[in-house]
Chain A
Amino acid sequence: MTHRLKPSQYAILVAVMLTASVGDTLLTKGMKQVGPVDLHHLSLLWHALFNPFIDVGIILLIGFFACYMTSLSFADLTFVMPATAFGYVVIALLSRFWLHEHLSISRWIGILLITSAVGFVANSPSRTEHPNLDRMDSGVAL
């Protein structure tokens, strides 16, 4: 086995990148509408559940967790890591082009670094082949 990913498995990794970042952005937008919540106004959290941005955000984050765990079932943690980190890039680009925030030079360099990290691992084997791993797969270790 060469541990190349199927197109559907790449799609799951792309979903990991998009759902976490878009979900977080929607939660931020929703909570800004709801207003600050503190210990004395916990009932605001109940009202937050009726905000459409919050609802879609929660659904996306549940989808993120499902996709993240599915990806860990066929790929190494160190292979999936750049995909989760790419969420930072998506958030930065969303804030630049949707929320029209200013991105400093250092943020652009950060975006470049994370993107190249994704490039480094994207074409490499997604799963370690190791005799110890086969033992672990059978449930001896851990």
Chain B
Amino acid sequence: MLNFIARRILATVPVLGIVAVLVFLLLRLTPGDPAAILAGDAASSEQIARIRVSLGLDQPILVQFGIWLGHVLTGDLGESFFYKVQVTELIAQRLEPTLSLAVLTIVFAVTVAVPLGVIAAWRFGGWFDRALMGFSVMGFSVPVFVLAYILIWIVSLKLGWLPVQGYKRIADGFGPYLQHLILPSITLSVIFIALIARVTRASVLEALGEDYIRTARAKGLRESKVLIRHALANAAVPIVTVIGIGIALLIGGVVVTESVYAIPGLGRLTVDAVLARDFPTIQGVILFFSLVYVGVNLAVDLSYVFLDPRIRY
């Protein structure tokens, strides 16, 4: 067991290594001189030369990568060109809104999507099933920012129930904090609900075809118990897997949602950094998001051991 966990953690090392190489190369893939781009259009050749030396861009590329990787491994992501603070500090400052948004979205999406998927599988082919599948295609198709504006227009502008934009820290009181997060979370969760409901339906449907379900029914178990204890429990692995994979969708959604709702989180930071061509911040944020994605999927893999007692390593 411990052996398995150790091996699985080790297996993420090459993936993270390649992520590091790719994120590093991102800046070097720029056509032309990175120093000139960083310096801006109005820079003199001395300024460009100074930037090149200060960033070590005059060194061979392998040396540059070695130095950069050394810094990253010691938790030093460099200093933001734009904000003039350490990128790690910047990420720490912006973490609370994004984490709140992500957790609320996942909790909301799972609470809604799993029961919907189970009911759809239970009444396979019926009107509820077809409606859910229709909703799910819609959920994949409506762009997250369009949905955000529709919700803002109805809920905030027409009905006046919730604030249009902005963010309140949890330290400013739980009520305002939650109020500012409700619309963004609903916006973000629609695509997630579509995804999870689909997978729940498919895997519960598969489980319902198994012999043990017939046995459970034959021995007179209540239908709710058959569905939850027998069908859903056996369908847990694909559902948890898709939540892990969906984190990538969630990160993409966070970037857009935070922009529309003016939430000062990591997604907003990414866009601002890109618009300001703040390369250390762009690299840092992408590395951080990728680390989270790999970490969550590692946790998902490890959770199989608990979700499915048949899996023994």
Say whether A and B bind each other: no
Q: Which residues in B have some Cβ–Cβ distance to A below 8 Å?
A: none
